[in-house]
Amino acid sequence: MDSFNTLCDRYINYLTIEKGLSNNTIASYSADLVKYFDFLKAKEINDISKADTAIILQYLISLKDSGLISKSRARNLVTIRGFYKFLVKEKMIDYDPSKLVDLPKQGLKLPDTLSQEEIGKLIATPNMKKKTGIRDSSMIELLYATGVRVSELVTLKIKNINIEAGFIRVFGKGSKERIVPIGHFAKDKINKYLIEARPFILKGEDSQYLFVARRGKPLTRQGFWKLLKLYALKAGISKSLTPHTLRHTFASHLLEGGADLRAVQEMLGHVDIATTQIYTHIASHRLKEAHEKFHPRS
């Protein structure tokens, strides 16, 4: 069996070349694996095939004892799982000992989401008599319609939106491309913005970006965040609201409506479905609330 360093290098190359993950993600995975390898060496295990499920559990316990929070321990396990999955795929080991290890409980801290009524209020808040108001309402509608990250929204280019076919091409983390459908509400908003607002905001300037500010520059993430907070205040929404809240809301509403988890994973651009599964907790949590409230024998 190859040394830990060699195995790590091969796995990192795989993540970089075949998976196209970002540099930050790669660095995070590398750091997690180095810690795991150090633990194995301390246990006098120098062959990865000798590390069984019990050893992985011991490692997670050691992370907890060192004060690492459950979210960070869960991330470490996700890294280890991905590593073992790669080793099995490459036929370097016969079985995956991490399969039997559950993710650490995180107290089910669910991300904030908006109700459909709150979403409606938020989208209706920008002043549609102003060109920037038409733009802002269009951005909020598209963010909720697609669940894209705010960085993906503000860098969305004209050439990557097909209104007639009803989809946008998004380049997410690690420059991975994905196709996300948009509904008729978003299509109508974008059409209105393109015809009635964008040319006036540009004032003769040219821009490759869909959503523009003065002099053809795209809005910054921080700039849109400030606008969103202002509109939430005007709409009377008391929840802590960020662009990511709309991403959470998009996923939660889809799953509550019966969407397939894999389809939602694809639209969100998650590499690992475990990242998407947090939204199933939101959906089941609300179903439980509804059952307790309305079922005669709950």
Residue 79 CB contacts under 8 Å (≥ 6 apart), including other chains: 28, 29, 32, 33, 36
Tell me: the pLDDT tens digits for 141-178?
Answer: 999 999 898 989 999 999 999 998 899 998 877 677 88
CB contact at 8 A, 141 and 185: yes
pLDDT (0 to 100) of residue 71: 81
Partnered with residue 157 across adjacent β-strands are 209
SS3 state of residue 131: helix
Point out the residues that are catalytic: 149, 173, 244, 247, 270, 279
SS3 state of residue 218: strand
* Cα torsion 274, 258, 266, 150: sign: negative
CATH class of the region 4-89: mainly alpha
CB contact at 8 A, 244 and 112: no
pLDDT (0 to 100) of residue 295: 42
- Residue 166 host element (H or E): none
- What mean pLDDT value characterizes the chain? 84
Q: What angle do CA 16, 20, 22 make, to 5 degrees?
A: 80
Place 22 in a pLDDT band, splitting at 50, 70 and 90: confident
User: Does the structure show a pLDDT above 90 at 270?
Assistant: no
Mean pLDDT of 35-43: 92
Q: Considering the chain, what percentage of its residues have pLDDT values greater than 70? A: 86
Alpha carbons 213 and 51: distance in angstroms, whole number: 55
- For residue 158, the number of C-alpha atoms closer than 13 Å in the C-beta half-sphere is 12
- For residue 177, the number of C-alpha atoms closer than 13 Å in the C-beta half-sphere is 5
Tell me: the pLDDT tens digits for 223-239?
Answer: 999 999 999 999 999 88
Mean pLDDT of 101-111: 59
CATH class of the region 116-291: mainly alpha
Residue ranges of the domains in the chain?
4-89, 116-291
Least confident of 65-74, 128-137, 205-214: 65-74
Q: What angle do CA 121, 127, 133 make, to 5 degrees?
A: 100
Residue 60 CB contacts under 8 Å (≥ 6 apart), including other chains: 73, 76, 77, 101, 104
Q: Do domains 4-89 and 116-291 have the same CATH topology?
A: no
Alpha carbons 252 and 246: distance in angstroms, whole number: 10
Alpha-carbon distance values, 146 to 140, 230, 257, 277 (Å): 10, 22, 15, 18
